[in-house]
Every structure is written in C-alpha cells, then in structure tokens.
Structure 1
Amino acid sequence: MSHVLSVNLAHPRANPVKAGVDLTGIDKRPVDHAVAVRAPGPKYGGRGSGLVGDEIYDRQNHGGNDQAVYAYARENLDMWAADLGRELANGGFGENLTTTDLDVEAALIGERWRVGGAAGPLLEVSVPRIPCATFAHWLDERRWVRRFTQRALPGTYLRVLESGEVRAGDPITVVSRPDHDLTVGVCFRALTIEPDLLPRLIDVEELPGEAREVARKRTGVIPVRFVSDGE
C-alpha cells in the first residue's frame, strides 16, 4: 500500500542565489509528530506552505494553493542517490511528503489523494515541480537543473481540498481520477523538454491557470524551455 514515509518541515538557510530573498526553506527534515495541513491561500499574501510549521520565503515563485504540498517518491530519491554516489535523506529534495509505493509521476493532474483515515487531508495533484537555482545550489551537483529535467522525475505539488493532519506511516489512497490522461510526468516533459506535448495541457482545467497559459502561448510558436531561473 502507498503511504507517507516521512513528513518534512523547513529548516531555514541563507539563500545566496536569489536577489531579495535572504532565506530558503528547501532544507526540509522529517518530524516525528502529526502536522496540520490546510490550504495556505493565494501565492501573494497567503501563508506560503500548506503545512503548519513549514515555511516558504520566495513567495513570488513558490507556495500558495496550487503549490501547497510537495510530494516526492523515496524510490526516486534512492535512484538519484545511487547515481550521485551520496546519501539523500527524506526531505532531501525539499519535499514535504516523502512517499513510498506510489508512482508519483504516473498520477493524473487533478487526481485526489486521501492521506490517513477519513479525518486526514484530501489533496489534489496540481502541477509538477520545475527545478530552480535554489534547488541547484542546495544539491551542489554539476549541471543539476539540466540533469533533473532530463530525467523527468519531478515529483508533484498538491492542493489542499480538505484540512487534516499527516504523520509518517499514513496510508495514501487515490479516491478519484479525472477523465483526461495527462499525468504529472507528461505535463513536466511538455513544460520543459518536449514542447510538442503542450497541446495536451490547454484544456485540462485542473492545471493552474499559469501553466495552461504557458501552453497556450507556446503552442504553434518556437518552443522555449520552461525552466525557472536555472541553468
């Protein structure tokens, strides 16, 4: 059964790579207690993260309802650890939820997950994570944004539809799936390295409006890679 291996919250660090943003919360570490999850509100003027006790400092580019929770699979962390020849702890990619026995990239945009029992939060898959300069600096690996993008295992952001608490060991149950076939993996490839896939994004209402707008603008024109302030 799919479940949450760990719940990870930010430990603030200096951020030398983004002008005007002195701190970053990308250093996320497991906690051994239940964490409240709720919708954080809009990206601008909201509470940033969907997890109480977590923190997002670059709220121009991160956080808000469409990026309330970030999930990444432990199996993919293990693959990267083998490739890089170094250990990667749970939370090592800045994820809030480290999952196991769940193919995150095969999840459909708009798919809904119940985490824990009936009183646990209801989360909705919203959009894949796009790597940025802060992530590259945190990993400190050569050409990291390019390598991460080409591997196309981005993990996913989630919306919070119903509040609740999460803890390590909670089961993850897929309770509904939309009618379309747009997965997290295909969406990521469309926005980065395979622009021919962009038409598949345009009519998917569960995608954030800005992602659909990117697809509309780039469909039929010279493609531009959608990699935020990376290499």
Structure 2
Amino acid sequence: MTQIISIKSVNVAQPQVLRRLKKGPIYSSINKSPVVSEEILLTYTNLQGDQQVDTKPKPDGRQLHGGNEKAVYVYPVEHYVFWRADLGLKLPIPSFGENLTTVGITEEEVHFGDKWQ
C-alpha cells in the first residue's frame, strides 16, 4: 500500500531580532511565513528565502543550525492538535519554525535522502 502524504505549507524566514539583552540582540528565523510561490529552490543548506541563524560550530564541533543535511525542518500538522489542546491556543501554521508542515507523515518517518513526488 502506498502512503499518501502531502505538504500543507512551505515556510521561510529571514533573521529578525527575537529579544534584546544587555550583551546585544538575539536573532532568530523561527517566525516563518508561508511561501506563496508554487516552486521553491531547495539546496543542500536551505530553502530559497530561508536563512538559519547560529550556524557557527560549537567548541565541541557540533553545529546546531545550517550546514549539509540540515536544510529543512519538517513538522507534521497532526502535532498541532495536541499543542492547541495542551496550550489552549489557536497556533497558526507555521508556529514551530518548520520549513515544511506535512500531512500524513511524522518526523519519525522522514529521513535524509527521502524523495517525494
């Protein structure tokens, strides 16, 4: 049986000031907006129009954002039901910084190298 999945929303953002501290501003691209174009370029490092923040490797060599194999954050619409009930909020899509809001597939089923048609 073929699994039917779909993409409900493709979302991107540019860095914005999330908070201002004494040591300076904290930037983030978590507040994404849906893309209106039917086509968008996906590269090894990001979606067209999306920019990650905090891309410098940590002292132990880990890199939290950006880089190869970290181009797209996928989050299922099915989880919105839980969070809306738990938080008592409406939570518009996208609310979790995801690049792709999917239907019919969870993050446990999405893997690097997957090809969707």
TM-score by length of 2: 0.76
Find the partner of 2:48 among 44, 48, 52: 52
Q: CA RMSD in A?
A: 2.3
Q: Equivalent residue for 2:70?
A: 67
Q: Equivalent residue for 1:77?
A: 80
Q: Equivalent residue for 1:209?
A: none
Change (3 A) 1:109 1:12: closer
- What is the CA–CA distance in structure 2 between the aligned matches of 1:17 and 1:85, rounded to whole Å? 28
| Aligned residue identity for 1:39 | Y
Shift of 1:58: 1.3
Say if 1:78 and 1:88, in contact at 8 Å, map to a contact too. Answer: no
Say if 2:94 and 2:101, in contact at 8 Å, map to a contact too. Answer: yes
Partner SS for 2:92: coil
- What is the CA–CA distance in structure 1 between the aligned matches of 2:25 and 2:68, rounded to whole Å? 21
Structure 2 gap ranges (5+): 57-63
Find the partner of 2:36 among 9, 32, 37: 32
Change (3 A) 1:70 1:20: farther
Say if 1:14 and 1:23, in contact at 8 Å, map to a contact too. Answer: yes
Shift of 1:66: 2.3
Instruction: Pick the structure with more helix per residue.
Output: 1
Change (3 A) 1:75 1:3: same
- What is the CA–CA distance in structure 1 between the aligned matches of 2:12 and 2:26, rounded to whole Å? 18
| Aligned residue identity for 1:91 | P
Q: Equivalent residue for 1:114?
A: 115
Counting matched residue pairs gives 105
1:23 and 2:27 aligned: yes
Shift of 1:27: 0.3
Say if 1:8 and 1:90, in contact at 8 Å, map to a contact too. Answer: no
- What is the CA–CA distance in structure 1 between the aligned matches of 2:111 and 2:73, rounded to whole Å? 14
Shift of 1:20: 6.3
Identify the structure with bigger relative contact order (alpha carbons < 8 Å, sequence gap 6+).
Answer: 2
| Aligned residue identity for 1:114 | K
Change (3 A) 1:38 1:103: same
Say if 1:15 and 1:24, in contact at 8 Å, map to a contact too. Answer: yes
Shift of 1:82: 1.3
Shift of 1:67: 1.2
Partner SS for 1:16: strand
1:1-231 aligned at under 5 Å gives the runs 1-16=4-19, 22-33=26-37, 34-40=39-45, 50-60=46-56, 61-105=64-108, 107=109, 110=112, 112-116=113-117
Say if 2:34 and 2:94, in contact at 8 Å, map to a contact too. Answer: yes
